[in-house]
Structure 1
């Protein structure tokens, strides 16, 4: 099994949401994101599967030593460090952010108490805001102004996780609800109020993350939008259930997951098609953000994108958009069948349409490259 296949298997087994979203990333970026996820998952396992807190701390120390000694080419103490070290050595992510993530895990082991909203914010930054910063680095984002939006998305997702996992965390002796140290002994109304407040904070940060989407390269934007909307839907499901988080863990069914992902892709495709059309009609006024590339709509560019390629790109994006609309239609038919004979057939068609959308989207990317033969 190759390294890439191993990382792919890890994200596929551990997170349906991130696994689905990752397929909308460019191939080169996708493999790096899989590697980063595999490393993060290994960190979790190093703590969760440890036989004692002291062993967990020793495991984290070895991960930290590998990061600190990376540039000196010292032998790794944790095999899983091989996922992230190439990214650090190539300066595609900052080791500082990875070290801050490890520090967040130590906060758990040291019994970090969340008493205030500021305590919650600090914990969520270390646990997930750092991952947001590493993700933007992998996607080639250079603008520092994008950092606050990346952190906001990571924090929002972590807050959603906290709201979803109140019971599970409480059974392990943990609580991230400000002011509530023992959820198993707290009143249901107090827990509901705390969860509602956390989800309100998360919603504010989801909106801030959306405001920063323009900083992302358009080839990666759809993937981030899908992940955002799927996690956001988990929070909305908790709200619709009356914040009854102690009754069980809130999860999205596969049909609902497909529907939310399809809606996110549809919205993002509309934005992309709009930008491409405007760029074609008004060259020089609009551009699609791509890192380390010149503005392809600049007339002085020695390798401009040909008009034919732009037309092909628009056509493929249109097919991708049509496939997404078909996905949404089949999902609606599945939930509201005219005949019981339909069974799972609409759902199968929905999955096929979604895969077709991804394929057309990936093909469209090929026509957004400079034409070296142009003069």
Structure 2
């Protein structure tokens, strides 16, 4: 790859993360230069795939497409396979960025296939009866991304990668809790259907402001379900390089804060997209630094092996 093309990919990736995720963009600035470059490039592929499937740009709006969703998924699979095979001619920048990252970090193609399988579930309009089924979906769309990102940061120990997957699960559960009403407006329901029945709700009721109390209780259950995964991921952070640990700890604090704000606002959060303020992000950066640069006990990954056996649903090892 020429220096000129590398610069083009980096500019594209920078714009992609700035538009697509203000929360993660703030944390990504904390990585060392080389890691930040590849994290942003990997993010640009994930963002592109999400946008193609949803008919959006940067996670927003609606962009008309002549292709049905199934054909879009097929196109993503085709272009991803070409990028992983080292092809570049005619591929969009996001796929060229992906190919460079995958080769540099020896990523197995199965990781990208797992992620695309998650988008296929969205295209099918799949709904989930139980939390366990929902967590399987979360593995595809977010847990596997945590594994990819951890590999970019140099992680290879399977238990560390499991903890990275756990953080992806926590992030996705938080996202689902935040976007319950907005997703329902698009015809998407991710809340476990068994939970809805327990509240006496149907999927259509999620949009009804008169049902805000019940919806708030369901959101709180999702936020609570995310907590063990945030705790599990915290163990893995101690086994990342310091700058990477700082970025990931900050991102975890920012996303967890969103969930806590949702619970605190209760029914008042109905139909409102909760986010973190600038001061809250700054506080997370400071707290993340304390976590990342605190003295680490000797022993490395082997020391925490017993903690890694906790009965959380770590899907990475099972899936791979």
TM above 0.5, one fold?
A: yes
Task: Give distance in 1, aligned partners of 2:268 and 2:179.
Answer: 11
| Unaligned ranges ≥5, structure 2 | 1-6, 56-62, 197-202, 302-320
Q: Where do residues 75-224 of structure 1 align in structure 2 (5 Å cutoff)?
A: 78-79=91-92, 80-179=94-193, 180=196, 181-182=203-204, 183-185=206-208, 187-224=211-248
How far the C-alpha of 1:12 sits from its partner, in A, is 1.6
1:221-370 alignment runs, 5 A limit: 221-242=245-266, 244-269=268-293, 271=294, 274-275=295-296, 286=298
- Does the residue aligned with 2:68 lie in a helix, a strand or coil? helix
Matches within 5 A, 1:55-66: 55-66=68-79
208-217 or 34-43, which moves further after superposition? 208-217
SS at match of 2:154: coil
Deviation sequence 1:54-82 (CA, Å, 0-9, x none): 53332221221133344544566641211
Using the alignment, how far apart are the partners of 1:31 and 1:160 within structure 2? Answer: 26
For the Cα contact (< 8 Å) 1:132–1:150, is it kept in 2? yes
In 2: Cα distance, 1:158 partner to 1:71 partner: 26
Distance in 2 (alpha carbons) for counterparts of 1:160 and 1:73? 35
Equivalent of 1:32 in 10, 33, 38: 38
Which ranges in structure 1 are unaligned for 5 or more consecutive residues?
279-285, 290-375
Distance 1:106 1:245, change over 3 A: farther
The alignment partner of 2:120 has SS state of: helix
Instruction: Name the larger-Rg structure.
Output: 1
Please give the secondary structure, in 2, of the residue aligned with 1:125.
helix
Q: CA RMSD in A?
A: 2.3
CA–CA distance in structure 2, aligned partners of residues 67 and 267 of structure 1: 36
SS of equivalent residue, structure 2 residue 266? coil
TM-score by length of 1: 0.68
72 and 262 in structure 1: CA distance in 2 versus 1, 3 angstrom threshold: closer
